[in-house]
Each structure stands twice: as C-alpha cells, then as structure tokens.
Structure 1
C-alpha cells in the first residue's frame, strides 16, 4: 500500500460526500493508484466546497502536490466522517481488510 489515502478511498460514499463530488469520481481500485495523495487532491479540485478545496489543493506557486492544510483536513475526515466499517466491508482495499483482521485477532488474544 502506498499511503493512507488508499484506505480512505475504500469508503467511496463517505469520501465523495465529504469532498462534495460525485461517487463516479472515486476510484474503484484504490490500491492500484500510483500516487493516491495526488489523486485525492485532483478529485478535490472538482469539489463544490470552496473552503475544503483550498485546504486540499496545492497552489501552483508552491510547487507542492497537496495544499497547505491537506494533513489537517484528512485527519478531520478520518476523525469525523470516515466509516471504517464500510471501507472494510466494501473490500476495495485488501490491505485495510488484512490490517483490520490482524488487529481483531490481536484484540481477541489479549
């Protein structure tokens, strides 16, 4: 897995709603994306939410891949909106399913 964004993409409906974009903009094979962080920022460019868009998108003059508040915005999504159960059940991210299974096994042993 390349980044946490691949796991976030696994909650297609939740992420699309948070970004304010159509679900058809969400990838169906998130772990096959070469640069999930840049892909998420590109999808954010289609957002109808100006404030969120400015937080996630890079400014051309900065030479960055993502916006200045990208990390904070992503943590906000994870904390308040990400439906990890839906992401796991959707089976779009095998590594997320594997991690959740291992955590469950560890919890059961303790």
Structure 2
C-alpha cells in the first residue's frame, strides 16, 4: 500500500520513508517540510485527503507541540480516520534515530556505550546527536554535522545529508523500536493499514 507523509522537515522525511518501507508499504508523496506550525494549520485538510486518497502518516516532534503529553496531539484532529495516522515523535525525530545505539555508533565510529539508552527522555536529542558526532574520528563527518564556530546554527551544513546516509546505511528500525515506545507504536499503527 502507498502511504503518503506529512512531516516537519527533511530529516523526518527520510525516517518516515524508512519506517513505511519497514512496515511493508511504499512511501508516497511527501507534504509539508515547513515546520510543525504548517502541520498544525493544515491538519484537517490532510485528514480529508487521507479519507479519499492514500493513507497519510503525520510525524510531529512532541517537543515542538507545546503539549504536556503525546496523546493530546489527537485532539488536533477533528475528524479522526483510520487512514490518517497522526503520530507524536517523543521527543523529536533524533530520538528515534538514537534509539538504534549500534547503528549510530557504527556510523559515527564511536563506542555504543556513550549513546544514551533512553533517547525519549533526552532534553534535546538533536543536540545530543551533534555532540556525539563531535566524538567521531572522521573529520569530514564532524565538519558536516557540527556547526562551524561563530555560526548561529545548531547543526552543520551537511547534517541532513549525513542523517540520510545514516538512516539508509546503518539505522535499524526494528532495533530502534525496542528503545523507543513512540516508534514502536507508530510501527504497530502502520501495520494495521489495509
């Protein structure tokens, strides 16, 4: 089955594609990539689209939502439909990435023991991932993922490209789901699609 995606940005897109494929579906059209405010504003319209067209997987970084618990995001959907999968990523998409300690460690060339075991409890998973990249012995990787000194960015210029490389070459969805409840629930929900 083809599953479309509504995501905050390019990092979320690559993870969504991999998760959809893992669940035996085909990734379809990608919508959004304009931040969570766009998703919040357009959510009802995409719900209607899912009713009449392909199912849509919506990924929202929970830490961006301003809500107190992930299930509250469901309140944003006025007309729930089984083909409209609105999922809260606890805390943000990098939490799901960090949940595969071995894959991240292998990609960065660092010990898996330095990667936090409970990524959904991290205050800032993206910053944690960037800080782990600082430990890498691969200079080009560090230069791509880490912001240059004196810049205001929180990630380096090649961050998204390196995340894509990690997701497609090293990240194991099944392993990550064992350390991420929100990823596990997303997978369970995707597998229910008919």
Q: Scaled by the length of structure 1, what TM-score is found? A: 0.90
2:186 is aligned to: 99
Matches within 5 A, 1:68-87: 68-87=157-176
Aligned residues: 105
Contiguous gaps of at least 5 residues in structure 1: none
Q: Which has the higher contact order (CA 8 A, sep 6+)?
A: 1
* Regions of 4+ moved over 3 Å: none
Q: Please report how far the alpha carbon of residue 2 of structure 1 lies from its aligned counterpart in structure 2 after TM superposition.
A: 2.4
Structure with more strand by fraction: 2
Structure with more helix by fraction: 1
1:60 is aligned to: 149
Give the secondary structure class of the aligned counterpart of 1:62: coil
Say if 2:95 is the partner of 1:6: yes
- Which is higher, the Rg of structure 1 or of structure 2? 2
Say if 2:117 is the partner of 1:28: yes
Contiguous gaps of at least 5 residues in structure 2: 1-89
Q: Scaled by the length of structure 2, what TM-score is found? A: 0.52
What do you get for the CA RMSD once the two structures are aligned? Answer: 1.0
